[in-house]
């Protein structure tokens, strides 16, 4: 059955949501020398991003009921319009693009849509691929990405803080993009909202948010590597890293579990991950990863609200981690929360911010 589709255009110079960030706020952000940040577009609730060169557009998902299209001729960093591409959806946070189709992972199902490009983008009739996702609002925002094998990978969060899970809960599933045939690729994943495949090894890297209620400083948020089908990453026996949960303190997981390759500070809410493959930034950034930390919501002293840089070798081994961009959290409170990271053809980075309702563009100028 087709969906309710709306098309709405508005000027990029006018904030598209109440309280959208003032460009002057960008002066509060700190980045390494010779990097700059600007507002690329105002998009209400901007979360998952997909850059689609053949459409000359950036598709933007939300946790509401809409998906947006930012049209940017030549993808040169100067978009002309933002439009509501689809509406009437159910938490369409997960999006991916392949072979002329937009894949949308909602809370309850995964569908694909043809997208037509004329003067403006137009979305076609949906084809439901997977219709049995756990329909629960707790961690019901999916994340999606295509792997080098051509399969679609979708993260399915646990419908709880800590609990026994069943079926597809607390997993990453692998989906055939045409037939919808699917299977569980990774188990024990509490709440991942960031997937990326290493450009050399092809391995799946994913962030995972630790359990709440164990304290300000435990458990850690995680960056994990799934190298093959069927691995288990510890939840619900571990709330994050090697920290056991109160509900399962003396129980042994049913199978060997894979520890994280990076332990982030607890409650930073590490979300989107992107491997930098461009030439605009200094050479030391090539092949490294950026991670968006959305920021804590229940820690006594807030943390996160920043972009982390993970220095890696050519095989994706993490050498060190450091703060790349910060300042969305100030002494008087937060004004922005980074979510996802993607790269434009000119090698600049786009950062979505659902709290401020904007997409930022970070670029580098050689001194």
Output the average pLDDT for the chain. Answer: 93
Instruction: Note whether residue 304 is domain-resident.
Output: yes
Instruction: Note whether residue 105 is domain-resident.
Output: yes
pLDDT for the residue numbered 3: 37
pLDDT for the residue numbered 10: 40
Task: Output helix, strand, coil percentages for the chain, rounded to the nearest 5.
Answer: 5, 40, 55
**CATH number for the domain that contains residue 172:** 2.120.10.30
Which residue segment(s) compose the domain that 280 sits in? 9-364
Query: Tokens at residue 350, please?
Result: 């786009």
Strands (E), 141-250: 143-146, 152-156, 171-175, 182-187, 195-197, 204-208, 221-226, 231-232, 238-240, 243-244
Instruction: Note whether residue 90 is domain-resident.
Output: yes
In this model, does residue 273 exceed pLDDT 90?
Answer: yes
Q: Indicate the length of the chain as a whole number.
A: 367
Question: How large is the average pLDDT for residues 177-190?
Answer: 98
pLDDT for the residue numbered 20: 66
pLDDT in tens, 274-328: 999 999 999 999 999 999 999 999 999 999 999 999 999 999 999 999 999 999 9
pLDDT for the residue numbered 347: 98
Question: How large is the average pLDDT for residues 85-111?
Answer: 98
Query: Tokens at residue 260, please?
Result: 């994280």
Q: How far apart are CA 237 and CA 249, in angstroms?
A: 7
What is the DSSP code (8-state) at residue 326?
E
Question: Would you call 351 exposed, middle or buried from its count of C-beta atoms within 10 A (0-12, 13-18, 19+)?
Answer: buried
Task: Lay out the sheet containing 231-232: strands in order across.
Answer: 143-146, 152-156, 171-175, 182-187, 231-232
For the chain, what percent of residues have pLDDT higher than 70?
95
Number of domain units in the chain: 1
Instruction: Note whether residue 288 is domain-resident.
Output: yes
pLDDT for the residue numbered 5: 34
Instruction: Note whether residue 2 is domain-resident.
Output: no
Question: How large is the average pLDDT for residues 256-269?
Answer: 97
Strands (E), 30-176: 35-42, 49-52, 57-61, 67-71, 81-86, 94-98, 101-105, 110-117, 121-123, 127-130, 143-146, 152-156, 171-175
pLDDT in tens, 9-68: 343 433 334 346 788 899 999 999 999 999 999 999 999 999 999 999 999 999 999 999
Contact 164, 236 (CB under 8 A): yes
Listed residue (19, 142, 16, 18) closest to 68, CA to CA: 16
Instruction: Note whether residue 274 is domain-resident.
Output: yes
Structure-model confidence comparison of residues 132 and 2, the more confident one: 132
Question: How large is the average pLDDT for residues 163-179?
Answer: 97
Q: How far apart are CA 207 and CA 185, in angstroms?
A: 15
What is the DSSP code (8-state) at residue 250?
S
pLDDT for the residue numbered 253: 87
pLDDT in tens, 228-256: 999 999 999 999 999 999 998 777 888 89
Listed residue (200, 94, 207, 91) closest to 145, CA to CA: 94
pLDDT for the residue numbered 1: 33
Instruction: Note whether residue 1 is domain-resident.
Output: no
pLDDT for the residue numbered 151: 98
CA angle 340, 346, 351 (to 5 degrees): 15
Question: How large is the average pLDDT for residues 142-149?
Answer: 98
Contact 180, 133 (CB under 8 A): no
Listed residue (85, 41, 46) closest to 62, CA to CA: 46
Q: How far apart are CA 299 and CA 218, in angstroms?
A: 11
């Amino acid at each position: 059955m087709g969906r309710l589709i709306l098309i709405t255009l508005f000027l990029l110079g006018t904030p598209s949501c109440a309280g959208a960030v003032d460009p002057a706020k960008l002066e509060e952000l700190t980045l390494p020398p010779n990097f700059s940040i600007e507002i690329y577009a105002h998009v209400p609730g901007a979360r998952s991003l997909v850059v689609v060169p053949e459409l000359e557009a950036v598709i933007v998902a939300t946790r509401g009921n809409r998906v947006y299209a930012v049209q940017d001729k030549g993808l040169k960093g100067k978009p002309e319009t933002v439009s509501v591409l689809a509406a009437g959806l159910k938490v369409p946070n997960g999006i991916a693009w392949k072979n002329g189709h937009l894949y949308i992972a909602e809370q309850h199902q995964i569908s694909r849509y043809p997208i037509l490009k004329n003067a403006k983008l137009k979305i076609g009739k949906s084809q439901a691929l997977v219709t049995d996702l756990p329909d629960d609002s707790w961690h019901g925002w999916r994340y999606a990405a295509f792997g080098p094998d051509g399969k679609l990978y979708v993260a399915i969060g646990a419908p709880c803080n800590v609990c026994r899970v069943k079926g597809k809960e607390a997993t990453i599933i692998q989906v055939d993009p045409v037939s919808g045939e699917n299977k569980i690729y990774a188990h024990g994943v509490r709440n991942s909202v960031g997937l990326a495949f290493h450009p050399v090894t092809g391995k799946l890297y994913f962030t995972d948010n630790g359990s709440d209620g164990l304290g300000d400083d435990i458990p850690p948020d995680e960056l994990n590597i799934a190298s093959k089908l069927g691995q288990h990453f510890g939840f619900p026996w571990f709330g994050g890293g090697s920290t056991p949960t109160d509900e399962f303190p003396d129980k042994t997981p049913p199978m060997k579990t894979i520890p994280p390759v990076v332990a982030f500070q607890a409650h930073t809410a590490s979300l989107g991950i992107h491997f930098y493959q461009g030439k605009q930034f200094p050479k030391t950034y090539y092949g490294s990863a950026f991670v968006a930390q959305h920021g804590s919501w229940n820690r006594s002293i807030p943390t996160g609200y920043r972009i982390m840089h993970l220095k890696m070798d050519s095989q994706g081994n993490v050498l060190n981690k450091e703060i790349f961009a910060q300042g969305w959290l100030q002494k008087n409170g937060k004004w922005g929360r980074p979510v996802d990271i993607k790269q434009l053809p000119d090698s600049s980075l786009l950062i979505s911010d659902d709290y401020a309702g904007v997409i930022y563009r970070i670029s580098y100028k050689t001194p």
